[in-house]
Structure 1
C-alpha cells in the first residue's frame, strides 16, 4: 500500500511537471511570435535604392512621412495598416498616377511613380491569402 502511495506521488509530480513545461512552451512561442513575427513595414525606393524604411501604422491616427528624391520631396501617409502616396507638384509628377493609386495594404500591391522612379510597397513576413485561381 505504501508503494502505491509513493507511485501516485511520483505520477502526480511527473504530470504537474509536464503541465508546467507545456504552459511555459506556449508562453515562449507566443512571446517569440509577437517580437519577431508579422512586422510590417513600408519601403520607399527611388531608382531602386531604399530611401525610407518605416513601420506600418496600425492606428486610426494618420502619420505622414517626408522623403527626398532628385532634389525634390514627396509624402506618404500611413493609417489603419495602409499606406498611400500624397499628391506632388504637377511639375514633378504630371499625371499623378502614384497618388491616384490610393491606399495599399497588401504586400503584393505597389505604388509606382514612373517619372521619378519611385516605388512604395509594404514588406511583411506575414503570408497573404491570395489563392491560385486569382489573376
Structure 2
C-alpha cells in the first residue's frame, strides 16, 4: 500500500465514525408515545418530561401495559391467551421518532411522534 492509500482509508474511517455518532445522537425534543387500538388513540405519554413508570390502557375488555424508562417505551408482556407469540413485548424499548411497536392480534400500535419537522429521508437507513 502506498502512503496515499493509507490517508484515504483513514479519512473514510473518520468520516464513517462521525456519521454514525451524528446518526445515533437523539436530540429530538417533545417526543411522545401514542398508543392506538384498532386505529383509535387511547393514550398519549410524554417521553421528554422525565417521568418513568408503568401506564395501563384498555383494549377489547383487557388491560394492556407499557413501561416508560429513560425516554423510551416498551410493551409489557401479556398473558399467552391475549398475545400468543409475544412479538410486541419481545421487541424491547423504542426511543426514536417514527419507531413503532405493533401487536397484530390485538390491533395495538405504539409509536413515537415528535412535533419537530423531521424529513423522513434523514432517519431511514
Normalising by structure 2, report the TM-score: 0.69
1:54 paired with 2:63, answer no
**Alignment-derived partner of residue 21 in structure 2:** none
Equivalent residue in structure 1 for 2:105, among 115, 121, 126 = 115
C-alpha contact (below 8 Å) 1:57/1:79 kept by paired residues: no
Report whether the alignment pairs 1:74 with 2:50: no
CA RMSD of aligned residues (A): 2.4
Q: Going by fraction, where is strand more abundant, 1 or 2?
A: 2
Give the conservation status (yes or no) of the 8 Å contact 1:56–1:78: yes
Q: 1:75-94 residue pairs with structure 2 within 5 A?
A: 75-94=65-84
Question: 1:84 touches 1:103 (CA, 8 Å); kept in 2?
Answer: yes
- TM superposition shift of 1:89: 0.6
Q: TM-score, normalised by structure 1?
A: 0.64
Show the counterpart of 1:65: 55
**Mapped partners of 1:130, 1:65: distance in 2:** 29
- Structure with bigger gyration radius: 1
